[in-house]
A and B are shown apart, each in its own frame.
Chain A
Amino acid sequence: MKPKPNDVILHTVTKLAAVIIFTFSIDLFWAGHHFPGGGFIGGLTTAAGIVLLYLSFDIERIQTNLPIDYKKMAALGVLISVATGMGGMIYGDNFLEQAFGYFDLPVFGETELATAVLFDIGVAFAVIGTAITIITSISEDEL
């Protein structure tokens, strides 16, 4: 039997890099309205961070620390997106009509908030869920 390799450098770098990747993906996600970025690429980079964790540590360890059912996450994401579309209908608007407004928030000052962000959160969830589901189901070989 092969001795267990000692991946101390990989583990240390992963712990640092994962934080940076997650921060970057959140930045990409928020930038979507005014700069390149958005739900899809934000979700994909988040998934890339999670995949890096999977590569560095083993699957069981990640699943005990991040106990998320990614299939459900993907479905939930699409549901959120559809629900934001239906939100406008309650006020008598067309399906998928977006609303936005300017709010005075404590730390950020005057900020533009739009329901398009909620739609994007749904997209990001769906992308993360789908990407991780594909990768884990290929690696685990279970259905």
Chain B
Amino acid sequence: MKLAYWMYAGPAHIGTLRVASSFKNVHAIMHAPLGDDYFNVMRSMLERERDFTPVTASIVDRHVLARGSQEKVVDNITRKDKEERPDLIVLTPTCTSSILQEDLQNFVDRASITSNSDVILADVNHYRVNELQAADRTLEQVVRYYLEKARRQGTLDQSITKEPSANIIGIFTLGFHNQHDCRELKRLLQDLNIKVNKVIPEGGSVKDLQDLPKAWFNLVPYREIGLMTAIYLEKNFGMPYISITPMGIVDTAECIRQIEKHVNNLVSNKKFNYEPYIDQQTRFVSQAAWFSRSIDCQNLTGKKAVVFGDATHAASITRILAREMGIRVSCTGTYCKHDAEWFKEQVQGFCDEILITDDHTKVGDMIARIEPSAIFGTQMERHIGKRLDIPCGVISSPVHIQNFPLGYRPFLGYEGTNQIADLVYNSFTLGMEDHLLEIFGGHDTKEVITKSLSTDTDLTWNNESQLELNKIPGFVRGKIKRNTEKFARQNNITNITVEIMYAAKEALSA
């Protein structure tokens, strides 16, 4: 048992449902008790979906507990088959059905005899994998199912398209800015004269999956979901894949160079050269490179930041901050514990320390200890930041509804670099304002509120030191106060005077 208040990645069935409901005309049936269909609420609310979420539950109640599901699951599958005529029905196990150990595969086999839809059982174990791993697996399972089916039926056409083309694998419902990223990737490929063969799973039809091998290569923008599918396709169809996330200027260029390599491997006559395109985009279309050189960005030099999120976003943002903007990343971390090795390798040399955990209190403690000027994390880090009075830019799920913006906000590609530059710059206190506040002693001289997480008040500030503290600009005041108190405690001082403040400053900056 684990005492838990909050979690970064959801349970396995959420991953499966995200795959199923991303495809067009695929219905998921959960084997679950009443109330477990919370996924429908999330999709309907966060994504503001206009359509009914194609997920229903085959309810597990007392009767099921006593006698087993018997006909219930099969009936529910055949009923859905008649009502909605989906191409595919995915029977989704939950934590409850994991323990009931009913033979769900048997239900699937029975139901597929009578129904027109294809029926499969999602192969995920609730207690072994989380949302992201389950989504990765389920996507691979669906792709494999349809390619093998096509092969059996002899409809599999393995010839590649005449012109260079690519599949984009891993665009999902409820994914962090996935819709915008997808549009940006399509634009990027179009600029490179590469056709988009298929985008899966979002908006894709399972009937078209047999056309996947027609593409020249696969592009897997996110580390968490899609890699298993790409590896499967490589193994069975010899399709190369690119798993460099085109986030930030350097990595976008690197991703394009990889594309160039793969495309040139397959063409015989003329060779593609994307270098001029990269140069043009980097220097003149994207504003990020110029921004890094501009005076604005100079003010960010050496400022401390903390990064936390899923593996893809945390790694990319860390590298952007360190490599492209000259910001000091004091700590970077991810909750993707299953992918820790990859993550460590990616951020090696770009940060002072690495934190791999899915315990948000550890992240909170780390932030409180480091006291960065800005945080880049998930919604949880945003709230930690609020409490500590440190600004936070949200760069990764888990997210709230405000992270599903209506406007165009990609994180990938060249437009993505602009968005990220804005996000980073706006998160730090604006440089000039920073200076002015310091020069004029701040405009905010309200009484100091303790922002520290601990609530012990064994220290007293005398009038003078209180006044001195009030002169310090608001955004660093909490930090100075904490530092001084830390110093006072270390030296067994209970009464804080101006002298103590100065001593603390000297001690800490030494």
Tell me if chain B binds chain A: no
Q: Which residues of B contact A (CB under 8 A)?
A: none
